Structure 1
Amino acid sequence: MSVLRDYAATVAQPTLPFSADTARYDEVVDADGSLRAGWKALAAPALELTPSTLQRIEGEITRFLADDGVSYARPEAGAQPWQLDPFPFVVDAAAWATLDVGLAQRAELLNAVLVDLYGERTLLERGIIPAAAVTGHSGFARPLARASAVDPHPLILSAADLGRDADGEWHVLADRVQAPSGLGFAMENRRVMSQVLPDLYQEGSLHRVEPYFSAVHAALLSSAPEGVTDPRVVILSPGTLSETAFDQAFLANALGFPLVQGGDLVVRDGFVWMKPAGWPAKAPVERIDVIVRRVDAEWCDPLELRGDSRLGVAGLAEAVRRGHVRLVNGLGAGVLENPALMPYLPAACEHLLGEQLRLPSTPTWWCGDAGARESVLARLRAEDPTLFVRPIDRPRSSLAGRTPAELADLIAAAPHRYVGQELLPLSQAPSWRGGTRAGALPIVLRGFTLRYGSVYRPLVGGLVTMRESTDAPPVSKDVWVLKADEADPDQGLAELDPLPASRTVPSLAPRALADLFWSGRYAERAEDLLRLVLTAQQQIDRPGTHTTGIPADAVVLLQVIARLAGRAAADPEAEFRSLLLDGDRPGSAAHSIAHLRDALSGVRDQLSGDTWRVFSQVERAVRALRVSPHPHRSQESAGRMLSALLSLYGVSANMVRDPGWHMMEAGRALERALQVCEVLAAGVIDRRDPREEREVLEGLLIASESIVTYRRRYRAALRVPGMLDLLLLDDGNPRSIAFSLAAVQGHLAAMPSSTGSSRPERLLEHLIRDLAAVDVAALGASTGGRRRALEPFLLDLLARLEQLADSIADLHFEVGPPPVSLSSLALIEEMEARA
């Protein structure tokens, strides 16, 4: 059965559920029941899509997105997997042409409005736009409202959310100019769809998305302040908890620009600089010329905008006013997202551009106007379901659940703060929900526009989202725009403006270095614990052990695990499951892997996409363990998790040998030395009878991945001195402390802040020297059943390794006091004054 044919038949029958509630324009099926022009070009492969085929495709989509770590963080639900529908959104060339012109004109208009509002203000002076509609909006940045600070082209990247009415006419539902997101999701959707539907993808001659990213890259470089010949561009993110963190990281990775946070930058002498390692003792040397901001304007400068912000950079507004840095988009752009402007844009378009507005906004009434207010109140009294009321600078959902009477009271108290908007019967498109048939959901198309050269160019494509309800997570669609002729250049870009090819080595912020350092530590910590779990379970499962209890070597391994992660359960199987599943248990493998992912998320722009397949494999192993009660499953899942983590070695092996790589590997080597100390401290200090000791030493060597090396190095039976020599002093054994310290020494020497005599290098040199002088025979000697020289040696070694880790942080990572909100400082000063 063809799913698309069944869908078309259903749409054509008005008695069926999703076409009966209200008249809607269907994006696939025409009024006469035939396929629309775009889908006709794809009819042959599209009509072959059966339920079983779509179920397979749906599984492949889920796997591809998981492998790439694609997520969308909803404020009320945290990070959720990104959802992509198997049916693309298809538009033919003729239908797209109208949108292309409309989006380009709207971006040009919004740029002109922005320049006017912060410059000559003719729109306000002539009453084309009411002043209260602008000054009453929180996005109006007063510190930038001066003629000398006006940027003639403040809008570089913009987006608009579009919806069709029942007649198929496009309307702008919202303008997105603060920090327009979604380009990364759109590109990821295209990458996945081209793999899961190759026949359908190749059948239609559609515009590729990649050239647009090249244009974005060129446009950002060329937007640098005048006189800058080698611009530095960064993407400013609010952090890994942002709902569009993946989108920001994807954009940074695709464009090759560093992804930074507010704490990574500093304003000095009116310029913006990247903080160097060791700041503030060390002066900055890398100046930032262009900032693509993904932080809303009010949070960008705690000095002049929002005093309690910890996301921005103090003094950024002044640097912008001086023209020393270019923000994409400008700090004042947020006022354009004000829905109160929508009723006045047609007149503004005629005033500023001398043209009629091509893309109308959804019908909107600003309640600051008496006539519009009365119309809104009348419809509220009539409980008109096609009208909704929203604040001008808060999400529409912020008034959810209010009764018409309550909304009327809010409007009466502050009419200029609210608008009424028409609830359009948005067009529908097929959505695969599993089972045997496709349903229909209303769609919103986000179109993107870029100022490239001297004109605005819309992305030929975009991002479609659908929701089953207002509180449901978004489901996306890839947007396929077909070419009028196969020879047409992709995105209409025959060739890009040539840029000089120069090699740049952007520095990493101290925060990024810290994230990479800790990613190495967490990866090693998780790997070593998983080895302990696997070895302990293998020893417990040896034939015959079920009648004699837990063998001695497994008991010791459990003691090592307890030293590293505490003891959560007396039963070994319950303990193993806890170590693999409990992310809130410090020291557990699950805890280390969760923190590893957090650390790598902060530097996603530095990493290969292969990195996220590691976590996808881990998550599959975790899911299998959660649903299985069988004891063998924990061993199987631990093995799969270990294999996934080991693949990180391959990923890091292909990284550029820059300071970030050196810091990651230094963290890994340092953590390995710490883990070896912990294993020896928990398992070797007590002396046992010869047979039991051999079993214990063998188990510890297996868990330390050194049993094969021991057998090759030493022909005698297992002995503590030999084991200490191998794990402490053998500089040819990658699992030894001597090898690890030599690796840390090499990585630190490659760091820009290292001088050869810095504190970490001095501590490390002394540590290596003292370790080389150790007498393993004396350490292995026992008195009264304990190796009394070994215990203080290991405790001292652990303390010195932690001291080394702290000194590395002091030199190479950010130092100085943490950021404190200015509002908090004002409160402290007020309290001190009262005292």
Structure 2
Amino acid sequence: MVLSTEEEMVIKDYFQEHSYDEMFSSEMVIKPAWKNISDSLLGMGSKELVSRQKDIDWMLSENGVTYNVYNDPKGLNRPWNLNIIPFVLQETEWKRIEKGLKQRVHLLDLVVKDIYSKRELIKKGIIPSEIVYGHRGFLRQCDQIKYNTPKNISIYASDLSRGPDGRMWVVNDRTQAPSGMGYSLENRAAAGNVLSEIYKKNNVKGIEGFFHDFNQLLVKSSPDGKLNPSIVILTPGPHNETYFEHAYISSYFGYPLVRGNDLIVRDGFLWMKSLKGLKKVDVVLRRVDDVFMDPLELREDSYLGVTGLLDVVRRQNVTVINPVGTGVIENSGLIPFMPAIAKYFLNEELLLPQIATWWCGQHNERQHVLDNISNYVIKRIDRSHREDIVFGELLNEEEKLKIKNKITKNPYLYVAQEKITFSTIPNFNDGQLEPRNMVCRAFAIAKGDTYEVMPGGLVRVSPEVASLRISNQRGGTSKDFCVLSANNEVDVTIYPSWQNAQKTTAAKLEDLPSMTAENLYWTGRYMSRALVTSRFLRMVLKKFANTDFEIEAIEDNKKLRTLLHAVTELTNTFPGFIGNTKQRPVLDIKKELCAVILDKNKQGSLANTLAMFSNSYYAIRNLWSTDMWRVFDSIQKLCSMMEERKTDKDISIKSILKILDQLITKLIAIMGLIEESILVNQGLLLYFIGLNLESGIFNIKKLDLLTTKVTDEDTEYNLLECLLNSQESLNIYRYGYRSYITIENTLSLVLLNPEYGRSLMYLLSRLNKDINRLPPPEQLISLNNSQKYIYDAYSKLKSVSVETLIISNQERNELRENLKYLLVELDVLLNGVSIEITNIYFNHISGQNQLSSQSFPN
């Protein structure tokens, strides 16, 4: 093959050592299966490939695609990486793999049914009992349970790698809550967009039809055959490593994303806690591991599952996909016995080869492993986060002795496997192709009495050349998995949230899961708190712009002293500039102001508020639009900048003001986008209530701090101007009143004007209407306390006049008592509203105790 100059530059120095490569032969000849697509890719040249890789990176960033890495110094939500060079298989080879995958999942389904029913495999000596009973995934609580679906394993994933014979070998089986399908779909969306002309030219098989059938699998799994069953997706929460995928699938299909506290068991059925009450659940697509699913019968310390869930499953009143207990199949101890299992159940040979594996529970195999431990990879028969895979060739004599002792002590828990020599695949990096070790994950779903396999999947490659560790947790990269059809693929439009041809009703506010509603509510509160705080701090910093932050000079300036006290009161960052009985006020004014703005670890600071906002926002990421993720990502970058600058002693006020200006602009942008992303009945009402309630509480605080005390004319004028500035209301005041700033006019605008969107009167009026739109709790006829409190607050404010509020008592330090008392009463009532809303709609606390203690390993 003759390469062009552009192609030679891209593949220069590709092989650093001899290995089996998917695309190239050892003589650097492109293999026939890759010929057409490689001509298209390499023919672009390095510059164009770099440009298109940037397009992919941009699309993934815009869509907020992340993978959570625990204890990652770069932050929890690591950007998802997709390399522009896909993994390619011809349809002829794929058909053989597909047939083998169908056989394997069918076989594993028979195994899991047998393990939890007759246990013929153990009784007839086909598999040793220790492999089952010694595995952490075997749950006695699931014994003899009958299920609504014809298959116990409805969703299956298999990790595949190219073996020494050139065929795809099975590396791992995943059956508990297989991850990766959502990432596969997102990879195809990004790569298919950037390489659309190449994919079309090379007849890349589409994967949308697989997801349509996946949706039908969920619908048809309903216990009572409903046409439109209630389906939920159960997630451990936003800190789970694949939470993006949970939210993505939820958004794609339109099913509620719930957590354990959103669900409850009553009268032998599973219910979702909604704003109005309980809504029956028919199907649960779970992303929570087996032992965490039911704290009543399984792990008592789990708050990820639902107390009593297994009893509902036994009654066949809910379908859980995949059923609890299927984790026993994720068992490397079964691998040596799979040929015999295939003979017993199917009278067939295994179509897909496996890694050569020795189970140490057998004497001869154990002795062989102990004598040749340097040649093998040692692992437990079950997946464990606490014990790593051991590569025998890397151990010193002391380490070898240690692992040998472990095997000897509990031989049935360990297997030895032949060291895997991964095939390599080109990865485009820094303008050139590099060989990276790869593993691909294929997916299958139950479809009637058989299985359907996704024509593609998820490919992961090692983070570095020659690295054997292929893991997203360790920084691996993904690739699109392309199956090339011999025929032209016809594009089919799939409506992902469509269930069947029956007419369905739009989701109502009553259907909103309670934790989703709570996160919407707190997103509004933290959004408002962040905006009010940043505007107030920006105003304060501008007032200090021409000072040297000398404490002596400020002591003589009533305005600046009042503003500093207001900073501490407003943010609750005590002792701050006020001090308390134990600590004196801070003396380093600039340092404290910087901490109140930049220090995420300082409770009440702006950075801390932004972190809380991000947590609430991210917990309901399935609700947000792509435009919102673009703005949210820019806010996260500002937060990172703030974190980096918090220890900078030479940071200037000008640079902090620049950060605040950018932050305020982005917060306002995202506020507008939120209103475009979801309907009021989809939960926007809860966001509005949180937003306006927090704004009202902060308005009261600012009015109390800046207007209740009478001072000299100049100071009062300056403080009133500061108040209006902090609300971006100075221009409105000037246009509306065209006069010198007075306390009367300021209170008329900021406190009592029903037509001004930031006035307390407007906020309370809006809150009064919105809170009354919330679904009333069941069996409640009269007004609830939240409705009473907001009505009382609104009524009190409507009944006052500016003339009575500005009266001061000279004997009480020039205090405007009527104004002060009114603000205190309103503050108490609004905080009462907050407490009552939480108690009525967001109370997720429920006790859980087992009748007898049980031990489940971590």
TM-score by length of 2: 0.87
Bigger mean CA offset, 613-622 vs 735-744: 613-622
Is this contact kept in 1: 2:545–2:653, CA < 8 A?
no
What is the deviation of 1:656? 1.6
* Aligned-partner Cα distance in 2 for 1:607–1:778: 46
* Residue 581 (structure 1) aligned with residue 610 (structure 2): no
Tell me which residue corresponds to 2:570.
Answer: 564
CA distance in 1, matches of 2:493, 2:774: 43
Matches within 5 A, 1:659-670: 660-670=683-693
In the other structure, the counterpart of 1:85 is 83
Partner residue, 1:511: 515
Q: Does 1:451 align with 2:446?
A: yes
Tell me by how many angstroms 1:55 deviates.
4.6
- What secondary structure is seen at the aligned counterpart in 2 of 1:516? helix
Please give the per-residue CA displacement for 1:476-502, whole angstroms capped at 9, x wherever unaligned. Answer: 122222222114567999xx9954342
In the TM superposition, 1:673-692 aligns within 5 A as: 673-692=696-715
Offset, 1:107: 1.8
* Identity, % of aligned positions: 29
Q: Amino acid of the residue matched to residue 590 of structure 1?
A: A
2:158 is the alignment partner of 1:141: no
- Partner residue, 1:368: 361
* 1:345 Cα deviation from its structure 2 partner: 1.6
Secondary structure of the residue aligned to 2:110 is: helix
CA displacement 1:453-476 (0-9 Å, x = unmatched): 333111111111123354722221
1:523–1:596 Cα contact (<8 Å) kept = yes
1:532 positional shift: 1.6
Corresponding position: 1:810 with 2:834: no
The aligned counterpart of 1:706 is 729
| 2:402 counterpart residue number | 406
The amino acid across from 1:388 in the alignment is: I
Q: Which moved more, 1:754-763 or 1:739-748?
A: 754-763
Partner-residue secondary structure (3-state), 1:323 = coil
* Alignment-mate amino acid for residue 425 of structure 1: T
Range with greater deviation from structure 2 (317-326 or 389-398): 389-398
Q: Which residue of 2 aligns with 1:590?
A: 607
Pairing partner for 1:632 from 654, 663, 667: 654
* Mapping of residues 354-753 of structure 1, within 5 Å: 354-380=347-373, 383-384=374-375, 386-395=376-385, 397-398=387-388, 400=390, 403-434=399-430, 436-468=431-463, 469=467, 470=469, 472-487=474-489, 499-503=501-505, 505=507, 507-541=511-545, 556-565=562-571, 566=573, 567=576, 574-575=591-592, 577-624=594-641, 626=644, 629=651, 631-654=653-676, 655-658=678-681, 660-753=683-776
Q: Within 5 A, what are the aligned runs for 1:210-225?
A: 210-225=208-223
What is the rounded CA distance, in whole Å, between the counterparts of 2:129 and 2:306 in structure 1? 30
Q: Distance in 2 between matches of 1:218 and 1:148?
A: 21
Counterpart CA distance in 1 for 2:566 and 2:770 is 29
Return the offset for 1:369: 2.0
Q: Give yes or no for contact 2:756–2:762 (8 Å, CA) kept in 1.
A: yes
Q: How does 1:263-342 map to 2 (within 5 A)?
A: 263-277=261-275, 284=278, 286-342=279-335
Alpha-carbon distance between aligned partners in 2 of 1:663 and 1:359, rounded to the nearest angstrom: 52
1:76–1:295: structure 2 CA closer, same or farther, 3 Å change rule?
same
- 1:189 aligned to 183, 187, 190, which one? 187
> Residue 28 of structure 2 aligns with which residue?
33
What value does the CA root-mean-square deviation take over the aligned residues? 3.1
1:651 partner amino acid:
L
Alpha carbons of 1:761 and 1:664: their partners in 2 closer, same or farther (altered >3 Å)?
A: same
Residues 219 and 499, structure 2, Cα contact 8 Å, conserved in 1: no
Note if contact 1:238-1:311 (Cα within 8 Å) is conserved in structure 2.
Answer: yes
Partners of 1:329 and 1:31 in 2: CA distance: 43
Structure 1 window deviating more from structure 2 (362-371 vs 118-127): it is 118-127
Which one-letter code corresponds to 1:776 in the other structure? V
| 3-state SS, counterpart of residue 26 of structure 1 | coil
**TM-aligned CA deviation for residue 745 of structure 1:** 1.7
Tell me if structure 2 keeps the 8 A contact 1:263–1:313. yes
Deviations 1:569-620 (A, max 9, x none): 7666655543443222222222122111211222223333333223211123
Instruction: Determine whether 1:767 maps to 2:793.
Output: yes
Aligned match of 1:228 in 226, 229, 249?
A: 226
Moved more, 121-130 or 244-253: 121-130
The AA in structure 2 aligned to 1:480 is C
1:253-299 deviations in Å (ceiling 9; x for gaps): 11111111111111122111112448xxx6x3x21111111111111
Given that 1:449 and 1:458 are in contact with CA atoms closer than 8 Å, whether structure 2 keeps it comes out as yes
Counterpart in the other structure of 1:833: none
> 1:90: how far off?
2.5
SS in 1 for 2:680: coil
- Structure 2 CA distance, aligned partners of 1:809 and 1:497? 34
Uncovered stretches (5+) of structure 2, i.e. residues with no partner: 578-585
User: Is 1:779 paired with 2:783?
Assistant: no
Deviations 1:660-717 (A, max 9, x none): 2211110101000011111112222333433343232222112112223222332321
1:323-377: per-residue Cα shift (whole Å, max 9, x none)?
1111100112111101111111222223223332111222111111223222222
TM-score (norm 1): 0.89
Cα pair distance change 1:248/1:624, threshold 3 Å: same
The change in CA–CA distance for 1:397 and 1:201 in structure 2 (over 3 A counts) is: farther
For 1:208-241, what per-residue CA distance to the aligned partner results, in whole angstroms no more than 9, with x for missing partners? 3333222211111111114434311111111122
Report the CA distance shift for 1:517/1:195 in structure 2 as closer, same or farther (over 3 A).
same
Is the contact made by 1:520 and 1:664 (CA closer than 8 Å) also made in structure 2?
A: yes
- Contact in 2 for aligned 1:298/1:306 (Cα 8 Å): yes
The 3-state SS of whatever aligns with 1:403 is: helix
Partner Cα distance (2:12, 2:92) in 1: 26
Cα distance in 2 for partners of 1:261, 1:110 equals 29
* 1:146 Cα offset (Å): 1.5
Is the deviation greater in 145-154 or in 184-193?
A: 145-154
Q: Deviations over 1:105-144 (max 9, x none)?
A: 2222211222222223222222222222112112112122
Report if aligned partners of 1:137, 1:393 keep a CA contact under 8 Å in 2: no
Note the residue ranges of structure 1 that are not aligned, 5 or more in a row: 828-835
CA contact (8 A) 2:675 2:684 kept: no
* 1:166/1:798 CA distance change after superposition, 3 Å: same
**Secondary structure of 1:438 counterpart:** strand
Q: Which residue of 2 aligns with 1:794?
A: 823
Contact 2:9 2:46 in 1 (8 A): no
Q: Tell whether the 8 Å contact from 1:25 to 1:165 is kept in structure 2 after alignment.
A: no
Give the match for residue 832 of structure 1.
none
What residue in structure 1 maps to residue 581 of structure 2?
A: none
Contact 2:444 2:451 survives alignment (8 Å): yes
Aligned length: 806
Could you tell me which amino acid in structure 1 is paired with residue 423 of structure 2?
Answer: S
What letter corresponds to residue 267 of structure 1 in structure 2?
V
Q: Distance in 1 between matches of 2:735 and 2:433?
A: 63
Question: Aligned-pair distance for 1:76?
Answer: 4.0
